[in-house]
Structure 1
Amino acid sequence: MEDLGTPVLDNHLHLDPEHGRGLDAVRDFRRLGGTHLLVVNKPSWHLGVEPEAGEDFRPVFETTTEVVAAASDLLPGRAWPVLGVHPGLISRLVDERGFDPDEAADLMCAGLDRAAEYVRRGDALALKSGRPHYDVSEAVWAASNDVMRHAFSLAGDLGCAVQLHTEATDDLTEVAEWAEERDVPAHKVVKHYAGGRLAGPTPSVMSEKERLEIAAAAGDSFLMETDFVDDPDRPGAVLGPKTVPRRVRWLLEEGYDDAVANAHVETPAHVYGIDTEATLEA
């Protein structure tokens, strides 16, 4: 097992112990020097769940918390669950199941309410929400923003962070303002699949060298991720679980020691309140 001399956190990936590589992906991550994971539940329909009520999301969350516990046993650090409702669900509900946008939003908010229960108990670290990254009707867009604002309201009550799946952009200041209106500081809003610069929330930068160089040079808070999807039908989708450790090694070789500390120690503490050094030593 390689030791990179630093905590190495992948801020956003998925693990599917039934259909995908599951813990074998965690072993690959660890072997290359990875120490900590934030594991986001897969979209509900990827796990065969077509919800009718908020309670129907629970098997999705249980699958994630169970695999996270097993992953923690394998890691020199630990893993944490991030739970919520994928914003793409609204299109499945409206386009395929005949929901109107407001009905779909109500169901998605009920799913977020269930996810919040896990955070409240200490069984999950943060919530996941967002809005579609593709063109939708004005009604679906408005309903999606309502769902995201509901996630912020829950996070404000819980004092937790929110990971967002959104359209590609380098400016989400309006969204950060919505969060702050609901007592979620902008830095505790995390844009998953981000580029190297982002106005408003904290960027979770896709671990491609070009994006990382921009983030490292900027010196602002950032995280690193792969968005590994763990889908056997899409084995090369997004980035693999070895990528973050490999990019950390590359950043260190390029002299970006401060950026590595930023992404893997300082920003995780600032955003989530987690101590990647203490949990590594433990």
Structure 2
Amino acid sequence: MSETPSTPILDDHLHLDPVNGRGVAAAEAFTAVGGTHLLVLNKPSWHYGNDVSDADDFRAGFEHTLDVTRRSSAVLPGRAWAVLGVHPTLISQLIDRGFTPEEARDLMQTGLDVAAEYVASGDALALKSGRPHYEVDDAVWSASNAVMQHAFALGATHDCAVQLHTEGGEEFTEVTQWAADAGMARHRVVKHYAEGRITGPTPSVLADKEELLRAAEAGEPFMMETDFIDDPERPGAVLGPKTVPRRTAWLRDQGYETALEIAHVETPHRVYDIDTIETLE
């Protein structure tokens, strides 16, 4: 492809599994087609056979992500950063194990506290949280929103962004108001797996051609992602690690140079305070 190492290409949300999946090899595949920078999200604890019960259980899973992120940085022309937190569907697993919604809420907030320790030390860039993308009862919904609001409080304390896994849709102004109430800047709330246009958070748009065109034509801040799962039983799910570089080349061919500058340089700097040009070799 036409990109050179002087052209940043960031995948804002993917998973690398050093235990069960391709790990660094997926980062190498991303690099081979022009990718330069990655934000690596921790996989849910149960992917490592870990039924979390305390802070140390969360820490064990986070260490896998930190390890693969460091090793991936070594093969990228740019670098990788870790984003750590608690997957919102954990609440359903905990309730199935006998936790009340309130007990599940408290444990998930503990997991976020642990993730925030890594942000404070500089080992992680941002936090992740959210709420179930499927129907749940009122008690679970309330507990999940409390977990997310706790993430916003931590984001304010540690001056970092928060990536959200939530239900679909385009209207999330209430969520960003919660972040503002906690002391976070609204634009530092990132909607993972976003559609091309949303109201409230900064969209991290799944690299689907139609949604990327919507985002590019809007002229607003956005980023691109694959949500690559790195599961050998689901190869390529959700999208493969080569997708963002290839979609970037496609958008460039369509004449969207300004949008690509927004996605790969301006928005990452605005949201995460990272410089994808200065961090290129």
Same fold judged by TM-score > 0.5? yes
Deviation of residue 115 (structure 1)?
0.2
Counterpart CA distance in 1 for 2:270 and 2:236 is 32
Task: Name the counterpart of 2:133.
Answer: 133
Task: Name the counterpart of 1:121.
Answer: 121
**Aligned letter for 1:21?**
R
SS in structure 2 of the partner of residue 276 of structure 1: coil
Task: Name the counterpart of 1:274.
Answer: 274
**Aligned letter for 1:27?**
E
Task: Name the counterpart of 2:188.
Answer: 188
Task: Name the counterpart of 1:250.
Answer: 250
Residue 94 of structure 2 is aligned to residue 93 of structure 1? yes
**Aligned letter for 1:76?**
P
Task: Name the counterpart of 2:156.
Answer: 156
Task: Name the counterpart of 1:21.
Answer: 22
Note the aligned Cα RMSD (angstroms). 0.9
Task: Name the counterpart of 2:198.
Answer: 198
Counterpart CA distance in 2 for 1:2 and 1:33 is 8
Task: Name the counterpart of 1:219.
Answer: 219
Deviation of residue 92 (structure 1)?
0.3
Counterpart CA distance in 2 for 1:123 and 1:54 is 17
Counterpart CA distance in 2 for 1:2 and 1:53 is 48
**Aligned letter for 2:217?**
A
Task: Name the counterpart of 1:37.
Answer: 38
Counterpart CA distance in 1 for 2:15 and 2:48 is 12
Deviation per residue, 1:201-229 (Å, 9 max, x gap): 00000001000000000000000000000
SS in structure 2 of the partner of residue 39 of structure 1: strand
Deviation of residue 81 (structure 1)?
0.1
**TM-score normalised per structure 2:** 0.98
Counterpart contact for 1:2–1:31, Cα < 8 Å: no
**Aligned letter for 2:118?**
Y
Counterpart contact for 2:164–2:191, Cα < 8 Å: yes
Deviation of residue 236 (structure 1)?
3.2
Task: Name the counterpart of 2:240.
Answer: 240
- Count of aligned residue pairs for this structure pair: 280
Residue 52 of structure 2 is aligned to residue 57 of structure 1? no
Task: Name the counterpart of 2:10.
Answer: 9
Counterpart contact for 2:156–2:182, Cα < 8 Å: yes
SS in structure 1 of the partner of residue 136 of structure 2: coil
> Residue 232 and residue 2 in structure 1: after superposition, are their counterparts in 2 closer, same or farther (change >3 A)?
farther
Q: Gaps (5+ residues) in structure 2?
A: none
SS in structure 1 of the partner of residue 74 of structure 2: helix
**TM-score normalised per structure 1:** 0.98
Q: Gaps (5+ residues) in structure 1?
A: none
Counterpart CA distance in 2 for 1:3 and 1:219 is 22
